[in-house]
Amino acid sequence: MQQSENNYEQATLGGGCFWCVEAVYQRLNGVISVESGYSGGHVENPTYKQVKQGDTGHAEVVRITFDPTVVPFAEVLKVFLLTHNPTELNRQGEDIGPQYRSVIFYHNEEQKKVALEILKTIEDSKYYSNPIVTEVSPLTNYYKAEDYHQNYFNTNPSQPFCSLVVKSKVDKFYKLFKDKSKDVEVTNNN
């Protein structure tokens, strides 16, 4: 996997609006950083305005840098697949279009293998009543989103989309993964 000098790894995931996915991963223990961006398209250096039109081929994604000794890639994917709806094709709720598709952009063959295994496990568990449609594709490009998209939920919690949609994803994360949240780690250290 792509690693830094600290042996951190990266994952690039799209699950609808990147504000939702970013907010969830900012709360996962073992995550070092989360950056919103665009991946998988054919336009170089796309803007949000271009991507939101749905014809650049890009998905809104987050690039997650994580410590695999704290949270392995398989767990990163479980959080991803259980905090958004991977059964909706090219949409998440009211966000409709290929830019909102559920997608795992793998960085290497090991990530691809783990992604396919986790998808099969969740599909076989019948957690969802509809088939999972999450795309698994090689990472071919990544472009950081504009600065105003970074850390969006944390800096705009009362914005209507944040208070209604993003917060529901964060609440779902806490319901399912409270024991893996950074908040629990802080609480346990006091």
**Does 190 have pLDDT greater than 80?**
no
- 53 within domain boundaries: yes
- 22 within domain boundaries: yes
Q: How far apart are CA 102 and CA 17, in angstroms?
A: 10
- Annotated catalytic residue: which of 8, 9, 11, 17? 17
- 130 within domain boundaries: yes
**Does 3 have pLDDT greater than 50?**
no
- 16 touches 92 (CB < 8 A): yes
DSSP letter at 107 equals S
| Domain region containing 36 | 9-169
Q: How far apart are CA 136 and CA 151, in angstroms?
A: 26
Question: What CATH number is attached to the domain comprising 165?
Answer: 3.30.1060.10
The region of weakest confidence among 5-14, 126-135, 157-166, 180-189 is 180-189
> Is the full-model pTM beyond 0.95?
no
pLDDT (0 to 100) of residue 189: 34
Beta-bridge mates of residue 37: 61, 144
- 156 within domain boundaries: yes
pLDDT, tens only, 18-44: 999 999 999 999 999 999 999 999 999
pLDDT, tens only, 104-158: 999 999 999 999 999 999 999 999 999 999 999 999 999 999 999 999 999 999 9
What are the Cα distances from residue 81, in Å, to 16, 55, 67, 187?
Answer: 12, 25, 19, 26
- 1 within domain boundaries: no
Domains held by the chain: number: 1
Tokens in use for 97?
A: 């279009």
pLDDT, tens only, 169-184: 999 999 999 999 997 5
Q: How far apart are CA 30 and CA 65, in angstroms?
A: 9
Q: How far apart are CA 82 and CA 175, in angstroms?
A: 11
pLDDT, tens only, 48-70: 999 999 999 999 999 999 999 99
pLDDT (0 to 100) of residue 140: 96
User: Is 162 marked active-site?
Assistant: no
- 182 within domain boundaries: no
- 122 within domain boundaries: yes
Q: How far apart are CA 99 and CA 139, in angstroms?
A: 15
**DSSP character string of 68-79:** TTTS-HHHHHHH
pLDDT (0 to 100) of residue 132: 97
Residues in contact with 87: Cβ distance below 8 Å, sequence separation at least 6, in sequence order? 128, 130, 131, 132, 133
Burial 119-149 (b: 16+ CB within 10 A, else e): beebbeeeeeeeebebbebebebbbebeeeb
pLDDT (0 to 100) of residue 142: 98
**Does 186 have pLDDT greater than 90?**
no
DSSP letter at 150 equals T
Q: Regarding beta strands 135-138 and 142-144, do their DSSP bridges make them parallel or antiparallel, or are they unpaired?
A: unpaired
